Amino acid sequence: MDAIAEGSAPSPPTKRHYDLHFREGPAGGLVWRYRDAGLALSPAGMEWRAQGQQRFTDWSTIDTIRVQTGHIPKSGYFGNCEITFRNGRKLTVNSLDSWGRADTGRYDDYAEFLQDLHAHLGEADKKRIRFVAGVTEGRQMFGKVAVFIGGAFFVALPLVLLLLTGEIKALFITLGGAAFIIPAFRTMKKNEPRTYNPDSLDDDLFPHT
């Protein structure tokens, strides 16, 4: 069967809804606004509505689950859960608001979605699905280089100028640079490429303030 079927979803006896935004496609890229929100999980599978069409898929169609966290300057931390189906299509669920800003009010809903998603998977599903945390190795290397360069130019260099000249402006530049570099470093460490145990989700898989 297709990994994602359009049309009416079955009505399982129990179902839970989550007020989270999502996109049909991989995480990342430019999104002006998230217009699709609201998913449901049940023992039968997961369902959502996108572009006016009802979607449903059972648990046997999932190939990979990748969980990441991120940070938006002056906004905060957020979570991403990218689900890849066996036909190659993707669904990415996040904790952002409709404008793509970090939304602490969705942290609990996102955490419950992540926990319930894994709890619904049977033993056969857990043996088949790849559970991946963090970014790819290529993106991780790029992040390390960016954090190193940013730290050198916006923290270390102004600090040296402060020590040599006593110029107060250098102190403000250092503090401002640290405000950007420290969250970026924390995010990079939390997103080290690795696999994870679906029966024991560690703290780094969830966004925090």
**Positions of the chain with pLDDT under 50:** 1-2, 6-13
The DSSP bridge partners found for residue 41 are 16, 46
Q: Say how far apart CA 35 and CA 21 lie, in whole Å.
A: 8
Token pair recorded at residue 57: 């898929």
pLDDT in tens, 19-58: 999 999 766 566 778 889 999 999 999 999 988 889 999 9
pTM of the full predicted structure? Answer: 0.73
Provide the b/e sequence for 7-16 (b: ≥16 CB within 10 Å). eebeeeeeee
Q: Say how far apart CA 65 and CA 138 lie, in whole Å.
A: 18
The alpha carbon of 100 is separated from its chain's Cα centroid by a whole number of angstroms, namely 12
pLDDT in tens, 11-29: 334 889 999 999 997 665 6
Residue 11 has what pLDDT? Answer: 39
Token pair recorded at residue 199: 């029966």
Residue 6 has what pLDDT? Answer: 47
Pairing, β 45-50 against β 130-133: unpaired
Q: Tokens 């470093």 belong to which residue?
A: 185
Residue 9 has what pLDDT? Answer: 40
